[in-house]
Amino acid sequence: MAVQKPEELSKVVYTFPSTPWMDTPVEIKKGIFCWGNKEKSLKAVGFPNPRQWSVTDEDWKLPDNWKEIFIEGLRERVDKYRSFRLFLDICVRCGACADKCHFYIGGGDPKNMPVLRAELLRSIYRKYCTTSGKIMGKVAGARELTTSVIKELWYYAYQCTECRRCSLFCPYGIDTAEITILIRELVNLLGLNIEWIAGPVANCWKTGNHMGLLPHTIIDIVSEFKEAIYQVTGLKVDLSYNRKGAEILFVHPSGEYFDPNGNVTFMGYMMLFHEIGLDVTLSTYSSEGGNFGFFTSNEMAKRLHSKIYAEAKRLKVKWILGGECGHMWRVWHQYHNTWFGPVDYLEEPVSPITGTKFENAKSNKIVHITEFTADLIRHGKLNLDPKRNDKYVVTFHDSCNTSRAMGLFEEPRYIIKNVCNNFYEMPPQTIRENTFCCGSGSGLNASENMELRLRGALPRGNAVRHVRDKFGVNTLANICQIDRATLQTLVDYWAKGVAVRGVHELVGNALVMKGEKERTTDLRGDPLPGKEGE
Amino acid sequence: MGILFSFFAVVALIVVVFVGVQGANLHYLFGVIIPFAAFITFIVGIVYRVFRWGKVPVPFRIPTTGGQQTSFPWIKASRIDNPSSALGVAVRMALEVLLFRSLFRNMRSELRDGPKLSYASSKWLWLGGIAFHYTFLIILIRHMRLFFEPVPGIIKIAESLDGFFQVGAPVVYVTDVVFLGAVTFLFLRRVVIPQLRYISLAADYFPLFLIGGIGVTGVLMRYFFKTDVVGIKELTMGWITFSPVVPQGIHIIFYVHLFLVSSLLAYFPMSKLMHMAGVFLSPTRNLANTNRAELHVNPWNYPVKVHTYEEYEDDYREFMKSAGLPVEKE
């Protein structure tokens, strides 16, 4: 698809149709929506209504009793989630959330204002679940559920990245992510998903990871990483898989096996583990920390993630260490323990190198890699040469999930400041808890919706460009595989000349390893500062 | 449509009073029965709604974290915006409920050519909200003088502070002026700001007109029509002693005021005004971020179908062996 130039695309017109939103039927636009799920992807996990269908068709081939399924599903969920019922009940439409959404800022579609995106469902809730809505109808803000409304719900549920920025500003803490998650669950009951999510879910169910990588393929990929590390350091770094009795199980997003930016982040982990002699193993079965099931339904998320603790138990490890990923950490931090706890077959995590007890992870036994590494640095256990990263002028992109569902702000910054000499923050309104989504989260990192992604990335791109122009920033560090895989395209568009890098890639560059040869290149094979002629 | 409907709904309520009180002489109905019924609806309705919410489980601990987590002693945690203790949560909730903390964060974004996106602090909604809610509260406290004999000192203090800027007689209360100003502001922003105009429903305008109507009739009564305060107090004391009498000669404007208040009370439990109670229950605010440190139990957690390691190994055993990976079954 030919995408407009940034100057054109950013001329966003914030106008409103002359008709009220309820009387303005949804217009499904190319470049905004993702392809609908394939029949086989739903079949693979036993999801309802598997069939071939196309978003652009008039008939979406819903089951005959679609209305009943949807309304029953809605009624069931407002009795299961206090958040959901409350958030449908108490919004006063004050509008504080309107201009907090990256999709609204960059796209201008009124139904992408978080308040209105939620009203799409609230109007149905009022009609079928409240007395005033049943009696007063439109005056009470209620409307009839039609197939056109179903299409609208589907279209806008896949234009929200569940980043929770609006929930920070809402005076009642109404979380649009919660609404989006449940709308997606409801449309999934009718067999309506997107292939970019349904495909990885099917893969993950079968092979243990979204990419569909088979065990031997993972081993092959890692031997390539070993070779690349050997070229740079002269060291033979090993990494074990499916090894019983290791102290720690390491789980990370499988995208790191696949995406070039992720590859180098993964090499950073490998070098770190080797250097400190960590007794760690990985698993080909539990080869995905990410969870596209979370973008489908609570049940699917739980089904996909059960393998992690199961594998930790089978391998008899003491605790689990987790790699750099965004939504994986939302799931691990806020859901995992509740789904599978108490996890009494594992031990409370203690760093074997520093002896630090990770008190904040004592119940679910999963430690974030940046917590682990920051602790190592703090105790002086790593020999670091930040000059090797001197060509990088770095800024840090806080990922939505680790920010607003965890509060992991200082740990990655502490690491970056120890492995890089040049670090500059983006404007405060765009970082930490105020951070903007990359525009591609929650399973929307497809290519057919590129216009949506570019629009959604405008606020982040704008902030990156600001520090690029002001401080000469050329590197956007982050701790999320979706960021690494998607932001490069988006930053190339909005803030050319900035490269996207995982934090542990920077660690790998700066790490002075015992017995290594004098390095002349960084992990990407580019010459180190001062070694350009060699 | 929402605006006109709501406006005329409130006008209709006023007409009902004129017809009922002046036309049909139903003083007892409008002075006693309706206020009682409305009050009971208000209490029972709120209790019911809160009970209804309370009955729904909180399956997951999902606080929205607005600051640094508690991890290491050498990293300063944000104990209020990202609380990890009950005290932290209590302070966060207190700031939220009493000072509208989240609304105070509000910022405006502006997209200019270039593109250049800039942000500016925007506290008008916060200020309007604070002004509205607090003046409403003080006015409510002042009204408590109608239910005590003698009037407690604390109410008298509130009154004298409120009337500090005395302009003529009767004393003009600051809160009356600010309250009407705040209601007007909250209404105007809905009409003037295009985003708000587009999202506003009748359910947003109706309470504003109703509350505005209550404010205006209150002011008319106090400053212009000089209603019979002694008679009114006789009525209100009658309510709380459950021996209601309806004194003769109370001005119709009082009945209008009372009926609008009754309408507000009755409407309250079925409306968005329930945010008053709901905010206390919001799971993104009232839970501590201790997710990995303490187990949160979901009462309806149920076993799900999983793909086991054994099934995985059965699918890929040969590949695993060829790659030198250990297997459970040879």
Taking only the tens place, the pLDDT of each residue in B114-138 is: 889 999 999 999 999 999 999 999 9
Other C-beta atoms closer than 10 Å to the C-beta of A526 total 11
Strand partners, B109: B119
B128's CB contacts (< 8 A; 6+ apart) are B182, B185, B186, B189
Nearest C-alpha neighbor of A102 from the set A440, A408, A478, A450: A440
Cα separation of A283 and A218, whole Å? 10
CB-based contact B283 A206, cutoff 8 Å: no
Q: If you average pLDDT over residues B196-213, what whole number do you get?
A: 96
CB-based contact A243 B315, cutoff 8 Å: no
Which of B69, B70, B199 has its CB closest to that of A115? B199
Contacting residues of A for B311, CB less than 8 Å apart:
none
Q: How many Å lie between the alpha carbon of A275 and the closest alpha carbon of chain B?
A: 23
Which of B106, B304, B326 has its CB closest to that of A299? B304
Q: What is the mean pLDDT of chain B?
A: 94
CB-based contact B204 A92, cutoff 8 Å: yes
B323's CB contacts (< 8 A; 6+ apart) are A215, A216, A219, A220
Q: Kindly list the distances between the CA atom of residue A490 and the CA atoms of A30, A395, B186, B196, B251, in Å, as whole numbers in the listed order.
A: 18, 16, 39, 31, 68
Residue boundaries of the structural domains of chain B: 2-302
Cis, bond preceding A527 (omega within 30 deg of 0) = no
Q: Kindly list the distances between the CA atom of residue A112 and the CA atoms of A16, A104, A259, A315, B116, in Å, as whole numbers in the listed order.
A: 12, 5, 30, 46, 21
A468, A474 contact by CB (below 8 A) = yes
Token pair for residue B230? 């002694």
- Which of A8, A10, A94, A302 is the best substitution to test chain B (most B C-beta atoms within 10 A)? A94
- Which of B100, B127, B292 is the best substitution to test chain A (most A C-beta atoms within 10 A)? B292
A429, A405 contact by CB (below 8 A) = no
Q: What is residue A2's predicted lDDT score, i.e. its pLDDT?
A: 56
Backbone φ and ψ for A145, nearest 5 degrees, come out as: -85, 120
Which of the four pLDDT bands, split at 50, 70 and 90, describes residue B167?
low
The CA angle A252-A481-A259, to the nearest 5 degrees, is 95
A253, A328 contact by CB (below 8 A) = yes
Q: What is residue A408's predicted lDDT score, i.e. its pLDDT?
A: 98
The alpha-carbon radius of gyration of chain A (Å, integer) is 23
Contacting residues of B for A46, CB less than 8 Å apart:
305
A510, A483 contact by CB (below 8 A) = no
Ranges assigned E (strand) in chain B: 107-112, 116-121
Contacting residues of A for B49, CB less than 8 Å apart:
89
Nearest C-alpha neighbor of B63 from the set A429, A177, A370: A177
A55, A192 contact by CB (below 8 A) = no
CB-based contact A307 B306, cutoff 8 Å: yes
- DSSP letter for each residue of B195-241: HHHHH--HHHHHHHHHHHHHHHHHHIIIIIS---HHHHHHHHHHHHT
- Which of A89, A165, A249, A257 is the best substitution to test chain B (most B C-beta atoms within 10 A)? A89
Chain A contacts in chain B segment 175-234 (CB below 8 A): 189, 193-204
Q: What is residue B158's predicted lDDT score, i.e. its pLDDT?
A: 85
Residue of A nearest to B319 (CA): A216
A261, A485 contact by CB (below 8 A) = yes
- DSSP letter for each residue of A356-425: -B-GGGTTT-EEEHHHHHHHHHHTT-S-B-GGGGTT--EEE---HHHHHTT---HHHHHHHHHH-S-B-P
Q: How many Å lie between the alpha carbon of B211 and the closest alpha carbon of chain A?
A: 15
CB-based contact B292 A364, cutoff 8 Å: yes
Backbone φ and ψ for A402, nearest 5 degrees, come out as: -70, -15
B51, B38 contact by CB (below 8 A) = no
Q: How many Å lie between the alpha carbon of B207 and the closest alpha carbon of chain A?
A: 11
Q: How many Å lie between the alpha carbon of B26 and the closest alpha carbon of chain A?
A: 28
Strands B116-121 and B107-112: antiparallel
Residue of A nearest to B268 (CA): A90
Residue of B nearest to A141 (CA): B201
Q: What is chain A's pLDDT, residue by residue, as a tens digit (534 residues)?
A: 457 899 899 999 899 999 999 999 999 999 999 999 999 999 999 999 999 999 999 999 999 999 999 999 999 999 999 999 999 999 999 999 999 999 999 999 999 999 999 999 999 999 999 998 999 888 889 999 999 999 999 999 999 999 999 999 999 999 999 999 999 999 999 999 999 999 999 999 999 999 999 999 999 999 999 999 999 999 999 999 999 999 999 999 999 999 999 999 999 999 999 999 999 999 999 999 999 999 999 999 999 999 999 999 999 999 999 999 999 999 999 999 999 999 999 999 999 999 999 999 999 999 999 999 999 999 999 999 999 999 999 999 999 999 999 999 999 999 999 999 999 999 999 999 999 999 999 999 999 999 999 999 999 999 999 999 999 999 999 999 999 999 999 999 999 999 999 999 999 999 999 999 999 999 999 999 888 876
CB-based contact A96 B195, cutoff 8 Å: no
Q: What is residue B166's predicted lDDT score, i.e. its pLDDT?
A: 66
> Is the confidence metric ipTM above 0.90 for this complex?
yes
Q: Is pLDDT of B179 > 70? A: yes
Q: How many Å lie between the alpha carbon of B265 and the closest alpha carbon of chain A?
A: 16
Q: What is residue A534's predicted lDDT score, i.e. its pLDDT?
A: 64
CB-based contact A86 B116, cutoff 8 Å: no
CB-based contact B129 A131, cutoff 8 Å: no
Nearest C-alpha neighbor of A405 from the set B296, B69, B78: B69
Contacting residues of B for A321, CB less than 8 Å apart:
none
Cis, bond preceding B150 (omega within 30 deg of 0) = yes
CB-based contact B293 A214, cutoff 8 Å: no
Q: How many Å lie between the alpha carbon of B221 and the closest alpha carbon of chain A?
A: 30
Exposed/middle/buried for residue B169 (C-beta within 10 Å: 0-12, 13-18, 19+): exposed
CB-based contact A89 B53, cutoff 8 Å: yes
Which of B284, B304, B322 has its CB closest to that of A175? B284
Contacting residues of B for A216, CB less than 8 Å apart:
319-320, 322-323
Strand partners, B221: none
Dihedral sign for Cα atoms in the order A64, A66, A68, A72: positive
Contacting residues of B for A362, CB less than 8 Å apart:
292-293
A11's CB contacts (< 8 A; 6+ apart) are B113, B115
Architecture of domain B2-302: Up-down Bundle (1.20)
CB-based contact B69 A406, cutoff 8 Å: yes
Token pair for residue B181? 């100003």
CB pairs under 8 A between A and B: 307
Residue of A nearest to B1 (CA): A139
Contacting residues of A for B304, CB less than 8 Å apart:
299, 302-303, 306
User: CA B190, B194, B198, B203: dihedral to nearest 10 degrees?
Assistant: 0
Whether the CB of B318 is below 8 Å from some CB of chain A: the reply is: no
Q: What is residue A531's predicted lDDT score, i.e. its pLDDT?
A: 85
CB-based contact B65 A404, cutoff 8 Å: yes
Cα separation of A431 and A425, whole Å? 8
Cα separation of A176 and A147, whole Å? 23
- Which of B65, B270, B275 is the best substitution to test chain A (most A C-beta atoms within 10 A)? B65
Q: If you average pLDDT over residues B315-326, what whole number do you get?
A: 97
CB-based contact A310 B308, cutoff 8 Å: yes
Helix axes A215-233, B309-322, angle to 10 degrees: 50
Contacting residues of A for B96, CB less than 8 Å apart:
171, 173
Place of tokens 């990976």: B325
Contacting residues of B for A242, CB less than 8 Å apart:
320, 325-326
Cα separation of A244 and A249, whole Å? 10
